[in-house]
Amino acid sequence: MKPEVSFDRLARYEGNVPRYTSYPTAVQFEERVGFNEYKHWLQAFPEEEPVSLYIHVPFCDELCKFCACNTQVVHQVNVRVAYGNLLCDELKRLATLLKSRRKVSFVHFGGGTPTTLPIEAMKKVMSTIRSLFYVQQDADISIELDPRHISEDYLVLLPSVGFTRVSLGVQDIAPEVQKACGRIQSFEMISDCIDRVRQKNIKSVNCDLIYGLPNQTAASVRETIDAIVTLRPDRLAVFGYAHVPWKFKRQTLLEGEILPNPAERFEQRQIIDEVLKKAGYRVIGFDHYALPHDSMSKAMEKGALHRNFQGYTVDQAKALLGVGASSISILPQGIFQNQPSSYGYQKAMQQLDILPVVRGVQRSTADLFRWEIIERLMCDLHVDLKKMIGQYKQDPSLLGEFLKKLRCFEEDGLVIIRNNEITVTEEGRPFLRNIAVVFDAYYRAAPHRHAQAI
C-alpha cells in the first residue's frame, strides 16, 4: 500500500532545520571559546564519572559524491601511519589533563573510513587507549567500515582489540543510484561483509541507509530495504540525504542529477519505515531502527536513550571526548571542536602541551534546560514542560510561550498537549526536528545554514 503524503503539511515543514545532535548547535560555535575553557572544564569533570571517546579518521579510499563528512582520499600509507601517531599523542595529552585514569564506557571510531588506518596503527591507537584509560569490561567499542575496502586481516583484528559493533554504509543498492553517487557496491558484497563480520563474533551490526539520493525512486528504495532486512542487521540508521553544496563542494558533482522532491523524499522515508516495522524492527526516535534484543531498543524502553554527534546512542556518560581532526567534545559546561582539516590538525599538534581545539560554545543553565527538552522529545517523544521549568528554575512564563508556538503542531495532529505535557504522535515523528525548533533560542531560518528537515 502506498503511504499517504500530506502535501500541505510537507509544504509547511519542508524548511532547513538543525539535526539537534547537540544544543547549542554547531552554528553557535565561536573561536573565543577554546582550549583554555576546555582544559578547565575537563579538569573539573568528576573523577568517578565515566567518559566516552570519539576517534575521527578523516581518510577514505574513494570519495562518495553525497558525503557530508570531514574526509579526503589519502592513499599514502606513511600519511595514515603519521595520523595514527597524532591520535596517540592527543590521547596522551588528554589523559594528562584529566590527571587520573578515567573509566571509559564507549569508544567510537568514525570518519571518513576508520579502517584506512593501517592495522599496526589501529593496534597502537587501541593499545594507547587501554594504557591511559580504564576501558570498562562491558564497554561498547564500535567502528564504521566500508564493505568495498575491508580485508580479512582487518576483520580478524577488530574483535581481537575489543570491537563489539560495526557500522556499514549501504545507502542504496540500485545501480543507477550508486553510479550517480560514486559508490558502487553490490548487495552480494554487503551480504558477504556482514557474514564475515558475524563469523568473527562481533556482537552487533548496523547499516546506514539514505533516502532522497539522486535517481532514487519509491521502487528502488523498496527494493533496497526489502533486500537489507533479509540480512537482519541489529540496527539501522535511516537518513535523509543532506544536500549542502555550500558546505561540501563535492556535492556540486550531483547537481546535474535528478534529486527527489520533498513529497518523493517523504514517500521514500515512509516505505522504509513501513517495511522495517513489518519486519519486527522498533522505531528509535525519527531516524533509527533496532531489533528488540538490541541495546538501543532496551534503552528506549527504559527512557535511557540519548543523542550526540553520532545520532541516537545508549551512552550514559556525561562527557564525550573527541580525538582527531574535526572531532567534537561535549561536556556539561560546553561543546568544542578540533581543527577541522587534517593539515590544520597536524599543525595544531605541533604546539606542545595543548589540545587542537579551534572553537566551541559555553552552555548556560538555560541551554541545558532547552537541550533536555529537545533531547527527551527526540528520544521519548514526550516531555513534561512544567516539570522541566521547575527543575531548571526557569522563568514560568516560558510555559505559555512554548505552548503558543506548539499550537500549530497540535492543530496538524503532530503533538498532543495535555496538562502541560507534550506527546509527539506517530504522525508527528517524521517532524521531530521541526517541533524541536520551538525550544531553540538561537534558531534563525536561513537556506544555507542547515539541511532539509524531511
pLDDT digits 0-9 by tens, 172-205 = 999 999 988 888 999 999 999 999 999 999 989 9
Mean pLDDT of the region 245-250: 62
Mean pLDDT of the region 421-446: 92
Mark the binding-site residues, compressed into ranges: 54, 60, 64, 66-68, 111-113, 144, 171, 183, 208, 242, 328
Helices marked H in 283-341: 295-302
Q: What's the fold here for domain 24-362?
A: pyruvate-formate lyase- activating enzyme (3.80.30)
Q: Is the dihedral of CA 341, 345, 348, 354 positive or negative?
A: positive
Among 244-253, 319-328, 344-353, the minimum mean pLDDT is found in 244-253
User: What pLDDT does 130 receive?
Assistant: 98
The pairing of beta strand 165-171 with beta strand 320-323: unpaired
User: What pLDDT does 446 receive?
Assistant: 53
Please measure the distance between the N-terminal and C-terminal CA atoms of the chain and give it in whole angstroms: 21
What amino acid occupies position 159?
Answer: P
The C-alpha cell of 360 is what? Answer: 566551541
User: What pLDDT does 93 receive?
Assistant: 97
Mark the binding-site residues for [4Fe-4S] cluster, compressed into ranges: 60, 64, 67
Closest to 358 (Cα-Cα) out of 335, 381, 384: 335
User: Is the predicted pLDDT of residue 68 greater than 90, yes or no?
Assistant: no
Mean pLDDT across the chain: 91
User: What pLDDT does 72 receive?
Assistant: 82
Round to whole Å and give the CA distance between 157 and 408. Answer: 53
Mean pLDDT of the region 123-128: 98
Mark the binding-site residues for S-adenosyl-L-methionine, compressed into ranges: 54, 66-68, 111-113, 144, 171, 183, 208, 242, 328
User: What pLDDT does 3 receive?
Assistant: 40
User: Is the predicted pLDDT of residue 310 greater than 90, yes or no?
Assistant: no
**Cβ(335)–Cβ(361) under 8 Å?**
yes
Among 11-20, 31-40, 370-379, the minimum mean pLDDT is found in 11-20
User: Is the predicted pLDDT of residue 364 greater than 90, yes or no?
Assistant: yes
User: Is the predicted pLDDT of residue 452 greater than 70, yes or no?
Assistant: no
List for the chain the helix, strand, coil content (%; round to 5): 40, 20, 35
User: What pLDDT does 16 receive?
Assistant: 79
Percent of the chain predicted with pLDDT > 90: 81
Q: Which CA distances in Å does 190 have to 172, 197, 230, 233?
A: 11, 11, 12, 11
Mean pLDDT of the region 123-152: 96
Residue 253 — very low, low, confident or very high, per pLDDT cuts 50/70/90?
low
Q: What's the fold here for domain 365-439?
A: Arc Repressor Mutant, subunit A (1.10.10)
Mean pLDDT of the region 89-96: 97
Domain spans, the chain: 24-362, 365-439
Percent of the chain predicted with pLDDT > 70: 92
Among 27-36, 213-222, 241-250, 432-441, the minimum mean pLDDT is found in 241-250
User: What pLDDT does 13 receive?
Assistant: 76
Mean pLDDT of the region 235-252: 76
Q: What angle do CA 307, 313, 319 make, to 5 degrees?
A: 70
Closest to 278 (Cα-Cα) out of 222, 237, 240: 222
Residue 2 — very low, low, confident or very high, per pLDDT cuts 50/70/90?
very low
Mean pLDDT of the region 354-381: 97
Residue 99 — very low, low, confident or very high, per pLDDT cuts 50/70/90?
confident
Residue 445 — very low, low, confident or very high, per pLDDT cuts 50/70/90?
low
Mean pLDDT of the region 437-450: 76
The pairing of beta strand 320-323 with beta strand 51-57: parallel
User: What pLDDT does 385 receive?
Assistant: 98
User: What pLDDT does 34 receive?
Assistant: 95
φ/ψ of 143, rounded to 5, equals -150, 145
User: What pLDDT does 254 receive?
Assistant: 66
Mean pLDDT of the region 206-227: 95
Mean pLDDT of the region 9-38: 88
User: What pLDDT does 146 receive?
Assistant: 94
User: Is the predicted pLDDT of residue 303 greater than 50, yes or no?
Assistant: yes
